[in-house]
Amino acid sequence: MEPALLIVAGVALLPLVWFAATFNRLVKTRQHIRESWSNVDVELKRRYDLIPNLVEVVKGYAAHERSTLEEVIRLRDRAAANSGPAADQAVDETALAVGMRQLFALAENYPTLRADAHFLALQQELALTEDRLAAARRFFNGNVRDLNQLCETFPTNMVAAVLGFERSTYFELASDAERVVPRAAVTV
């Protein structure tokens, strides 16, 4: 084959190679989002499993605070049942964080509860879960950022539009004050 023909064929194949590489990058990023969301989901389920145990311990000390305890369980159940997009789940998670703040504020009124070994162990486990959940959220949101950049920046946005790739939504809570479940002061 003639060298000029090889050069023309190589130049003609470059856009096809770029298109395929861009497609593969978009698919890879979408898979990272799915994987990172499953990490968030695992930590959310772990938290949902811990909350009823914590409520039961508090019930033993604060039986007359029934409405607060029932509200936390209701919020937990609603958040656990939500399997919608990240933005929808963030609304329920925000409400649950507010409820948990009320639960820990309630615990502040009961010094013997704050010293209870079972309560302290559950509180510590919940704190560790919250830390893992925060890390999983950051990983998920980083992957969302990467996909959104690919969907918005030229020229990859053309490939994304042609192949039906869309922006994803971040998993964000409503305000900075609600981002961390409050922890009761430990007094032994």
Residuewise pLDDT in 10s, the chain (188 residues)? 688 888 888 888 999 999 999 999 999 999 999 999 999 999 999 999 999 998 888 888 887 788 888 899 999 999 999 888 888 888 899 899 888 988 888 888 888 887 888 888 988 999 999 999 999 999 999 999 999 999 999 999 999 999 999 999 999 877 654 545 545 444 44
pTM of structure: 0.79
Peptide bond into 155 cis (omega under 30): yes
What are the residue ranges of helices labelled H in 62-85? 66-81
Does residue 16 lie within any of the structural domains?
yes
**Residue 9 domain boundaries:** 3-178
Contacts of 57 (CB under 8 A, 6+ apart): 113, 116, 118, 119, 122
Domain count for the chain: 1
Does residue 68 lie within any of the structural domains?
yes
